């Protein structure tokens, strides 16, 4: 019997670290390797690739060509991208208003709730805004299993 893979939800701050070398890049790359090796499945929202590419666009170290290469890489990874409307629309709005966060950030938390899976983020500002007692499945990428 085949063992089922662990499913994790990620936001754009984690995936951006696959391309930008900064604090916690090692943990983000470990998750990516686990995904490539079939240890975990990664899910995210349909917004994630656009947010990642936007982060690269505003990083002075990335040229147009490098951003295009990153876009191609994101397509090749074939991460499961969940639509924002339908199942997530109401919870996105509710969570965004409850914590005073963007709809973008709330969409990742909503997806984690919807799938009943852990969300990993590198967004420390987001983590300071949410109630960790209520959002216990939201983790900083540094907590990703080694």
Q: How confident is the model at residue 85 (pLDDT cuts 50, 70, 90)?
A: confident
Q: How confident is the model at residue 38 (pLDDT cuts 50, 70, 90)?
A: very high
Q: What is the pLDDT of residues 96-125, one digit of tens each?
A: 999 999 999 999 999 999 999 999 999 999
CA distances from 121 to 22, 72, 101, 124, 139 (A): 14, 22, 14, 8, 6
Alpha-carbon span 30 to 127, nearest angstrom: 21
> How confident is the model at residue 1, as a pLDDT?
46
Q: Is 52 helix (H, G, I), strand (E, B) or coil?
A: helix
For residue 4, pLDDT over 80 is answered with: no
Domains and CATH numbers, the chain: 6-82+116-143 (3.40.50)
Q: What is the pTM of this model?
A: 0.93
> How confident is the model at residue 58, as a pLDDT?
97
């Amino acid at each position: 019997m085949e063992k089922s893979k662990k499913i994790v939800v990620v936001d754009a701050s984690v995936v951006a670290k696959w391309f930008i070398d900064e604090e916690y890049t090692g943990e983000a790359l470990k998750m990516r390797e686990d995904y490539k090796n079939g240890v975990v499945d990664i899910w995210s929202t349909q917004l994630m690739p656009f947010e990642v590419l936007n982060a690269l666009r505003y990083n002075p170290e990335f040229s147009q060509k490098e951003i295009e290469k990153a876009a191609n890489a994101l397509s090749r990874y074939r991460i499961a991208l969940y639509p924002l409307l339908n199942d997530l629309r109401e919870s996105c709005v509710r969570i965004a208003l409850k914590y005073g966060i963007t709809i973008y950030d709330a969409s990742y938390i909503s997806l984690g709730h919807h799938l009943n899976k852990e969300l990993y983020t590198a967004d420390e500002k987001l983590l300071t805004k949410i109630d960790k007692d209520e959002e216990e499945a939201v983790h900083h990428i540094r907590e990703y299993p080694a």
